[in-house]
């Protein structure tokens, strides 16, 4: 699945990264807890979150997350958008709640990746 397909499936506004919609997303992770994202997220992963602060962008940078989707209509501020641009990180915003957003992506074939042994 691509970032652009996620945009269409979740009816997202593209906050930044209009030129990165072709980027491939292999797995997804939905969490408001960055500690858990740091412990569990996989590679080529999209992050769905309702948490909206600079540490979300930083966490995404550390984990090589390929796309952030803010749920529940959350929108990042200018400083966060700047950080995302520096890291070539596309940011989408959807009005869907977390559960629905994850469900719509799962229904279209996106998975969370294997559980750790």
Q: How far is the CB of 54 from another protein (least distance, A)?
A: 5
Burial class (CB in 10 A: 0-12, 13-18, 19+), 116: exposed
Give the residue with the Cβ less far from another protein, 19 or 36.
Answer: 36
Task: Return the SS3 of 80.
Answer: helix
Q: Which residue has the tokens 């390929």?
A: 66
Site for another protein in 60-99 (CB under 8 A): 61-64, 79
Q: How far is the CB of 22 from another protein (least distance, A)?
A: 20
β-bridge mates for residue 16, sequence order: 91
State the number of CA atoms in the 13 A half-sphere of 91 facing the CB. Answer: 28
Residues that contact another protein, how many (by CB under 8 A):
20
Give the residue with the Cβ less far from another protein, 14 or 50.
Answer: 50
Interaction of residue 26 with another protein, rule CB under 8 A: no
């Amino acid at each position: 699945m691509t970032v652009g397909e996620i945009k269409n499936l979740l009816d997202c506004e593209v906050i930044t990264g209009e030129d990165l919609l072709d980027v491939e997303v292999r797995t997804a992770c939905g969490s408001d807890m960055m500690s858990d994202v740091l412990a569990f997220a996989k590679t080529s992963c999209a992050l769905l979150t309702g948490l909206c602060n600079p540490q979300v962008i930083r966490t995404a940078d550390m984990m090589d997350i390929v796309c952030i989707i803010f749920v529940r209509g959350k929108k990042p501020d200018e400083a966060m958008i700047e950080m995302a641009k520096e890291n070539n990180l596309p940011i989408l915003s959807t009005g869907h709640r977390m559960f629905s957003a994850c469900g719509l992506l799962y229904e279209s074939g996106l998975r969370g990746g294997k559980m750790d042994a």
